[in-house]
Amino acid sequence: MYNMKKWFSQHKLYLFGAILGAIAGYIYWQQVGCSSGTCAITSKPLNSTLYGALMGALLLGMFQKESSSTSV
């Protein structure tokens, strides 16, 4: 249980970014979407939500500070 809490505390920016990105991706699909159905990302809400989650995690993950543990 302690390891899970430690993991969540170390990766909270990635998780927060994924949640925000997923919400943004869904809203983008809902508001803009793809009327023809041929768009790879925005044709389905699942694709748009997952893509948004990935982009959000990568974007906020850039601001994650690296841990200074040097275990060899």
Tell me how many domains the chain contains. 1
Residue 43 falls inside a structural domain: yes
Residue 51 falls inside a structural domain: yes
Query: Domain of 41?
Result: 17-61
For the chain, the straight-line distance linking the first and the last C-alpha, in angstroms and rounded, comes to 25
Residue 29 falls inside a structural domain: yes
pLDDT in tens, 12-67: 999 999 999 999 999 999 999 888 878 888 889 999 999 999 999 999 989 887 76
If 0-12 CB within 10 Å is exposed, 13-18 middle and 19+ buried, where does residue 18 land? buried
2 confidence band (pLDDT: 50, 70, 90): confident
Query: Tokens in use for 49?
Result: 């939500």
Reported pTM: 0.80
Residue 2 falls inside a structural domain: no
pLDDT at 25: 95
Residue 53 falls inside a structural domain: yes
Residue 30 falls inside a structural domain: yes
Query: Tokens in use for 58?
Result: 């990568």
